[in-house]
Amino acid sequence: MSLSAALLQRLAGLASPAGSVRVSATPAQGMDFASLLSKVEQGQISSGTQVTSARGLAHELSSGEIATLSKAADLAESRGATQVAVRMQGMMYTVDIGVRQVTSVQPANHEPLLGIDALIDLDAAAAGAAQAPAIGSDPLRSQHGLNQTLRTILTAMKSAA
């Protein structure tokens, strides 16, 4: 090990806040990044980071909702999303991926959602709909570059209004 590498290693220990996790530059057990990403997308690996409620959110999240929304956030983040709407049990949960916070909860047929870049429809997946994305499938893009499930929901909301 060179002198500069040794110094950097010593400094890294000083710069790391207490309780932080050290990340190795070598792949975990021989896995490369693509393999790890694939496992995340399939729901085999979790970040372990749970979602929380944003300040002022009127809805209290149950432990089951937190677990499911945390998995959905992992999936959405692995696909590059920053704001995900998760349709679950007749409700629409909006999650800010960067801070892992649920920012809104409303009935699924409520007003349109703005500022989201991904939709995971767990209600349709539970019902067995052919186009419904489940955790582990591709919820972000259809063949035309638009989310088909999002288009279907917005069309239904427009016709109900």
Higher per-residue confidence, 143 vs 43: 43
Residues 6+ apart with CB under 8 A from 143: none
pLDDT tens for each residue of 51-108: 999 999 999 999 999 999 999 998 888 888 999 999 999 999 999 999 999 999 999 8
Model confidence band, residue 146 (pLDDT cutoffs 50, 70, 90):
very low
Cross-strand bridge partners of residue 102: 53, 95
Model confidence band, residue 140 (pLDDT cutoffs 50, 70, 90):
very low
pLDDT of residue 19 exceeding 90, the answer is: no
Q: In three state form, how does the secondary structure of the chain look?
A: CCHHHHHHHHHHHHHCCCCCCCCCCCCHHHCCHHHHHHHHHCCCCCCCCCCEECCCCCCCCCHHHHHHHHHHHHHHHHCCCCEEEEEECCEEEEEECCCCEEEEEEECCCCCCCCCCEEEEHHHHHHCCCCCCCECECCCCCCCCCCHHHHHHHHHHHHHC
pLDDT of residue 121 exceeding 80, the answer is: yes
